[in-house]
Structure 1
Amino acid sequence: MCGIIGCAGRNEDTLDVLLSGLEGLEYRGYDSAGVALSNGSVEICKREGTIERLQAAVDRSLGGTDAVGIGHTRWSTHGPPSDENSHPHTDCTGEVAVVHNGIIENYSALKEELQESGHEFTSDTDSEVVPHLVEDALSEGVSPEEAFRRAVSRVEGSYALAAVLADSEAVLATRNDSPLVLGVGEEAAYLASDVPAFLEYTDRVVYLEDGEFARLESGSWSVSDADGEVVDKSISRVEWDAEETAKSGYDHYMLKEIHEQPRALRKCLRGRVDERTGSVDVEALVGLSPSSVQFVACGTSYHAALYGAQLLREEGIHAHAFLASEYATAPAPVDDGTLVVGITQSGETADTLSALREAHRQNVETLAVTNVVGSTVSRECDRTLFIRAGPEIGVAASKTFSSQAIAANLLALALSGRASRNQELIGALRDLPSQVQAILDDSRAEEVASKYVDSPAYFFIGRNEHGPVALEGALKLKEISYKHAEGFAAGELKHGPLALVTEETPVFAMVTGDGEAATKTIGNVKEVEARDAPVVAVTDGVSDVGRYAEDVLRVPETHPRLAPVLANVQLQLVSYFVAKELGRSIDKPRNLAKSVTVE
């Protein structure tokens, strides 16, 4: 959540870099934005609302030449959106400006102490205590960097912090449980909470670890530990390019990313599955043979975890999925053979990281399933399985869910040791990208969305592997259309939720194949049909569910384990077109953030 950008060394371009960087961080979710530049004095402009409002308000000469600067997009936690609560925040003198992601847990005590000593506060935020702490330290005659370190030493909680000071030509920064990455350019050094903020300037990055401090000056950078000792950091290259983070002619990032799924799935599978030999070769999974598997995840990733746990159980492996926020405070029992798998698109999800750290405290092996190379989860887990989906800018996950589902299939095949006996599934994995493309080419989702756009509520039902996709379909519709939607295991509909079904409640039913699960789900479809509810069947046409449906969204026939991935594409499109017709902010839905870095 929130976004940080910093720059040192671009001279007259610094303001443009900051504003461009904030635009590159819009996808994370925000309700206000601001910048601070230092060049002998600190100058600030910040506004509630969009970055466009900030751009309209800012003086283009802000900071002048040779300035260093920081910028921020805020997602409110302490205090409502307002100009006063926007970042950057300053001290009493206006000579220290700070931006902050995370939550300062002891801010109330610090604020009370500072107020008693004469400091005046102008916002409701927890973040404002930091510049005042820096001011206090500066009054003792220490250097700007030492003052920043002293202030940070008094703070408890999660944070990514960046500061500029009137008496310093540097951007100072540090992190704890909140992401921060440096960008190493030819003429400048950059700082951001995520790579897209500076990707147009450099693809060379340095990832900060918790407790490390960074100093950015004109064209140079350094990293040190909490004791001030220099840390030798390696420079990595980001495989993404700036074009991948553009809309490329699509109306929204979400639609673009839905259409990128065939390519994302091919990348996830490339070099990992050999249909000729019937083998799965994933380096991160070599040698794994757990007695049980516990998945921890949040939101869409939790639905992928539910799907993955179902696959493992079908392979005879004891597996269960937990909400990471619950696991962190009430972990499940483990033994020496337990593997804890954390699924997180960004690799920075605070709840998931906390759950994995709890697993580490219990001395069990951990595996990260993530999209972002160099993310915190990839550095902290024992093993990492990258889903290779490429950058996802839309807040609502789309292509990353599909890639997580395929990664779960790879995990199930690898752990079962039965890939060679599962040629049908391996062949279906090969065909999956082209089948997704066929749906994208021929879907009736826009027509169906238009038909039901005025419905007050929507239900999604499915059995077995379709159950998690029912939850995901409902979540996607809620996220971007703001419509009420619920997902259920199909058999549960009659145990209470059926009371809410009316002729105005479309029920999306996922039915593929003609086995027992399909037969029983059709029985549930008949139950809602008898209540005059319109049914939208998402089906491969093998069963006769279409007879009982008002509308049909077709998917190609495939292996039962992969049918939910195809069904999910249709549901993504329905959600997108409902939201588009309602005029919603599809890529940046209200109150939501792409990377949830607070617990």
Structure 2
Amino acid sequence: MCGIVGYTGKSDCVDYLIEGLRLLEYRGYDSAGIAVISDKLLNKIEVRKEYGVLANLEESLTHGIVKGKVGIGHTRWATHGKPTQENAHPHWSQNYEVCVVHNGIIENHNELKEELTSKGIKFLSETDTEVIPHLVCTYLKTGLTVKEAFLKTLSRLEGAFAIAMIAKETPDTIYATRKGSPLIAGFKDENVFLASDFSPIVKHTREVLYLEEGDVIISNGTKSELMDIKGNPKEIKLVHEDVSNVSFGMDGYESYTLKEINEQSAILKRLIQLRLKKNTDGYNVVFDSIKTTPEIFKSIDRIYITGCGTAYHAAYIGKYYLEEFLDLPVEVILSSEFRYAKPKLNKRNLVIAVSQSGETADTLASIVEAKKKGSKVLSVVNVLHSSIDRES
């Protein structure tokens, strides 16, 4: 899991990129980097990246001022290639024509790398990401526009990814897409903000676009285009997010882990107060977002809970409470094993998906499978409008 940010607009982008990466550092902290189309160097792409925590990148920026109105950034949790400065993002094509940040895995990168290497292209890293800028640049040399080259490159990629790209040929424009990894765009006047989650964007705007699976967005701040991977246009439908009472910073804690541990009791109390509605008989528990009826729940005869990592362990807590209060059999299945375990799903089953990000690929695949079998799906996530939330 990595974090990516991007910006195009009327202001200098570096502060937003660094601030955004700080808020996304929980997604990866073995290296960090930014790429900016320079205002002063004839649209040259300037790259700064450092191994280790974000503070190392911030220190490097004090030795050489980088300024520009279009840029991308990345904080990395290594998957392909060990944590080094060479493997840190962004990655670029020859002559810095194109620069890319990426969250996810390009499953066919070995085949693509062999193809590109046979054409004389030299790779500087061990990452799967580096095939992306080289592919784009290869298509640019055939006469395609940057937009056309980006879309053609995406059609060659297999796997799950969120990508943000800038190009020297179009110095005011940012290109981005998502497939299986989260990406959000925020809009404010003639500024567009990109991020892996809402936390970097909230300070700047509440008007956001949650990119759907396979969406591509191209923007210069003034004009934005949304399309599918084949270039077919789509309507941009913004969502207004009201998160005035949410804090995305560490609030004085040394780490997000310590913050989460210490805030559990307060958050639990707030959630209970939010859902309890007083009436003449006492209190009702109300979930406004669950559009269903008591009759539907009465038809359920078995519950499955699925999640990965700590969500999987939380699912077991839920299992004990649900079995005690509902007197129904509850089975917990690790999301990565859900499809292979082949549970006997039917329309009388409820599948509960638990995911912090709402984008966990295996958990998402589990509920897609459950819906195919006619099961009802309920999600417990921290991110509204995430893929799992929308699929539930």
TM-score of the pair, normalised by structure 2 = 0.90
Q: Deviations over 1:365-424 (max 9, x none)?
A: 21111121111111112xxxxxxxxxxxxxxxxxxxxxxxxxxxxxxxxxxxxxxxxxxx
Q: Is the Cα contact below 8 Å between 2:26 and 2:256 reproduced in 1?
A: no
1:7-406 aligned at under 5 Å gives the runs 7-11=7-11, 13-39=12-38, 40-58=43-61, 60-62=64-66, 64-65=67-68, 67-168=69-170, 169-241=172-244, 244-270=247-273, 272-274=275-277, 276-277=281-282, 279-283=284-288, 284=290, 286=293, 287-288=296-297, 289-314=299-324, 315-381=326-392
Equivalent residue, structure 2, for 1:510: none
- Aligned residue for 1:117, secondary structure, equals coil
Q: Deviations over 1:56-79 (max 9, x none)?
A: 2135532x44x3110001110111
Structure 2 residue ranges without an equivalent (≥5): none
Q: Is the Cα contact below 8 Å between 1:199 and 1:241 reproduced in 2?
A: no
Q: Deviations over 1:454-497 (max 9, x none)?
A: xxxxxxxxxxxxxxxxxxxxxxxxxxxxxxxxxxxxxxxxxxxx
Radius of gyration: which is bigger? Answer: 1
Moved >6 Å (runs of 4+): none
Q: Percent identity?
A: 39
Name the aligned partner's letter for residue 8 of structure 2: A
Q: Deviations over 1:246-289 (max 9, x none)?
A: 33344544444444334422332235335634543334153333
Between the aligned partners of 2:82 and 2:274, the Cα distance in structure 1 is 49
Q: Deviations over 1:207-251 (max 9, x none)?
A: 001111011213443311223232113222333349712333445
Distance 1:318 1:71, change over 3 A: same
Distance 1:213 1:318, change over 3 A: same
Larger deviation, residues 200-209 vs 284-293: 284-293
Q: State the 1:108 CA deviation.
A: 0.5
Between the aligned partners of 2:275 and 2:350, the Cα distance in structure 1 is 21
Q: Deviations over 1:7-52 (max 9, x none)?
A: 00143x2112111111111122220111111242222111111111
Between the aligned partners of 1:72 and 1:234, the Cα distance in structure 2 is 26
Between the aligned partners of 1:9 and 1:274, the Cα distance in structure 2 is 44
Structure 1 residue ranges without an equivalent (≥5): 382-599
CA RMSD of aligned residues (A): 2.0
Name the aligned partner's letter for residue 5 of structure 1: V
Q: Is the Cα contact below 8 Å between 1:103 and 1:159 reproduced in 2?
A: yes
Distance 1:85 1:338, change over 3 A: same
Name the aligned partner's letter for residue 282 of structure 1: F
Q: Deviations over 1:547-573 (max 9, x none)?
A: xxxxxxxxxxxxxxxxxxxxxxxxxxx
Between the aligned partners of 2:88 and 2:192, the Cα distance in structure 1 is 25
Between the aligned partners of 2:256 and 2:146, the Cα distance in structure 1 is 41
Between the aligned partners of 1:242 and 1:151, the Cα distance in structure 2 is 41
Equivalent residue, structure 1, for 2:6: 6
Aligned residues, how many?
378
Q: Which has the higher helix share?
A: 1
Name the aligned partner's letter for residue 21 of structure 1: G
Distance 1:149 1:263, change over 3 A: same
Name the aligned partner's letter for residue 267 of structure 1: R
Between the aligned partners of 1:357 and 1:346, the Cα distance in structure 2 is 17
Q: Is the Cα contact below 8 Å between 1:211 and 1:225 reproduced in 2?
A: yes
TM-score of the pair, normalised by structure 1 = 0.60
Equivalent residue, structure 2, for 1:404: none
- Aligned residue for 1:195, secondary structure, equals coil
Larger deviation, residues 344-353 vs 207-216: 344-353
Between the aligned partners of 1:256 and 1:113, the Cα distance in structure 2 is 47
Q: State the 1:309 CA deviation.
A: 1.9
Name the aligned partner's letter for residue 294 of structure 1: Y
Q: Deviations over 1:272-310 (max 9, x none)?
A: 335634543334153333121111012222222112222
Between the aligned partners of 1:78 and 1:190, the Cα distance in structure 2 is 27
Between the aligned partners of 1:74 and 1:246, the Cα distance in structure 2 is 19
Q: State the 1:55 CA deviation.
A: 1.4
Larger deviation, residues 42-51 vs 222-231: 222-231
Between the aligned partners of 1:259 and 1:237, the Cα distance in structure 2 is 30
Q: Is the Cα contact below 8 Å between 1:297 and 1:324 reproduced in 2?
A: yes
